[in-house]
């Protein structure tokens, strides 16, 4: 008797979002002003700036691409996107992947056509276009469904995407309602937003990143991630110091890294923040552990994240308005003896330190380190 085992689909599913998804999303910078040309140029720029090599793979169209349904109920794109299949082919030709957006409600948050009562049909259409990533945003679904139906509604799309046979990353967006981290993975989610929308300012970013992720860490891991929302780096509302903190914090959180700026006109400073490969390596570490805060004192926060090779990422953050000296004792990090440190923003080996490490950190700044073990 011959047994034929087909492992391919299992492998594909396990590989999907095995590290936090990286790419670009249109919403933070462009909102309704995104179109086919912009998306193509973003794909070109991801390649030409080295972002692709740094790991930014998904080019995600957010809300406002949707047009009318045809007589058979098939969703069509609007006139900003003349041919979705051609656009997907173009993005794929660059070695990148493409994402799209919808809502389980009749209308999306920006008032465009949602997937209500067309779930499998839409999933099939997206798969036929070659879509690799779907963000599914609750929006008007709260007018149709009872809160108790939410999990089943997300599962419906999770199952619909699986039924297409195409590996499609499934991104849940319902702002952290009903402790989504507890069930997001079981409905097929590869990531789930944990909060309301991020804004391009220190208060919004720091509140979401520092205060609203604690306690969710045990739900993050390969294939399923907490999503504190897309990056605002380069959009102008924060200083370079604050954007480095944003990038470092998202890396410590093992958060998806979806750039949200206009890549075509980014400054060298923005480029260097988004493309710091040593920081990206913390985010993308294969162990897939979300970092946690180990201490908090007068605006100074110490966070750690265990890494696959046994190293430890250590972040010394300063949330206060003045310079502070932050001292990390090995004892509270679970370490003993002497350890080698590397500064991941200065790209510099700092030497070996016994018992503790202490550094001045500027207001709203960070010192991000890798401790060898």
| Interface residues toward ligand GLA, by CB under 6 A | 27, 62-63, 108-110, 137, 173, 197
Report how far residue 313's alpha carbon sits from residue 254's, in angstroms, rounded to the nearest whole number.
Answer: 11
Listed as own residue / partner, the contacts of 7-16 with beta carbons closer than 8 Å and 24 or more positions apart are 9/165, 12/167, 13/162, 13/167, 14/222, 14/223, 15/167, 16/167, 16/168, 16/169, 16/190, 16/223
In whole angstroms, how close is the CB of 27 to ligand GLA at the nearest point? 5
SS3 helix, strand, coil % of the chain, rounded to 5? 35, 25, 40
Q: What are the two backbone dihedrals, phi and then psi, of residue 101, each rounded to the nearest 5 degrees?
A: -140, 145
Closer residue to ligand GLA, CB minimum distance, 168 or 341: 168
Q: What is the CA radius of gyration of the chain?
A: 21
- Which residues, in sequence order, are CB contacts of 308 under 8 Å at separation 6+? 285, 286, 287
- The nearest distance, CB 261 to ligand GLA, in angstroms, is 15
Looking at the Cβ atoms of 64 and 245, the one nearer to ligand GLA is 64
Whether the Cβ atoms of residue 222 and residue 21 lie closer than 8 Å to each other: no
Catalytic residue among 122, 137, 227, 229: 137
Nearest CB to ligand GLA, comparing residues 184 and 222: 184
Q: DSSP secondary-structure letter at 109? A: T
CA distances from 369 to 206, 277, 328 (A): 20, 13, 11
Minimum separation from the CB atom of position 99 to ligand GLA (A)? 11
Answer yes or no: 62 catalytic.
Answer: no
Look up 197 and say whether it is catalytic: yes
Q: How far is the CB of 268 from ligand GLA (least distance, A)?
A: 28
Complex with ligand GLA: residue 135 or 364, whichever CB lies closer? 135
Q: How far is the CB of 174 from ligand GLA (least distance, A)?
A: 9
Q: Which is nearer to ligand GLA, 62 or 113 (CB)?
A: 62
Active site residues: 137, 197
């Amino acid at each position: 008797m011959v047994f034929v085992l087909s492992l391919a689909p299992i492998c594909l599913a396990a590989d999907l979002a095995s590290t936090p998804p990286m790419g670009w999303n249109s919403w933070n910078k462009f909102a309704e002003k995104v179109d086919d040309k912009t998306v193509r140029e973003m794909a070109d720029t991801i390649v030409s700036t080295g972002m692709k090599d740094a790991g930014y793979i998904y080019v995600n169209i957010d809300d406002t691409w949707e047009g009318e349904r045809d007589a058979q109920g098939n969703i069509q794109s609007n006139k900003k996107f003349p041919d979705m299949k051609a656009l997907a082919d173009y993005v794929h030709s660059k070695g990148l992947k493409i994402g799209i957006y919808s809502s389980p409600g009749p209308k999306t948050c920006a008032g465009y056509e949602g997937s209500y009562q067309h779930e499998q049909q839409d999933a099939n259409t997206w798969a036929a276009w070659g879509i690799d990533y779907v963000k599914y945003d609750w929006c008007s679904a709260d007018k149709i469904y009872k809160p108790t139906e939410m999990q089943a509604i997300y599962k419906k799309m999770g199952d619909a995407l699986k039924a297409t046979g195409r590996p499609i990353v499934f991104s849940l967006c319902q702002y952290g309602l009903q402790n989504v981290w507890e069930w997001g993975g079981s409905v097929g989610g590869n990531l789930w937003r944990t909060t309301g929308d991020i804004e391009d300012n220190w208060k919004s970013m720091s509140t979401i990143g520092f205060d609203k992720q604690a306690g969710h860490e045990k739900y993050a891991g390969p294939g399923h991630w907490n999503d504190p929302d897309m990056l605002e780096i380069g959009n102008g509302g924060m200083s370079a110091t604050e954007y480095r903190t944003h990038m470092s914090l998202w890396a410590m959180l093992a958060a998806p890294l979806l750039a949200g700026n206009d890549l075509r006109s980014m400054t060298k400073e923005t480029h260097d923040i988004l493309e710091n490969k040593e920081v990206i390596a913390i985010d993308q570490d294969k162990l897939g552990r979300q970092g946690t805060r180990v201490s908090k004192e007068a605006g100074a926060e110490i966070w750690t994240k265990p890494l696959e090779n046994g190293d430890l990422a250590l972040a010394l953050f300063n949330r206060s308005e003045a310079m502070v000296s932050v001292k990390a004792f090995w004892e509270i990090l679970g370490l003993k003896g002497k350890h080698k440190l590397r500064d991941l923003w200065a790209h510099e080996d700092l030497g070996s330190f016994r018992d503790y490490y202490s550094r001045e950190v500027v207001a709203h700044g960070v010192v991000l380190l890798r401790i060898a073990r």
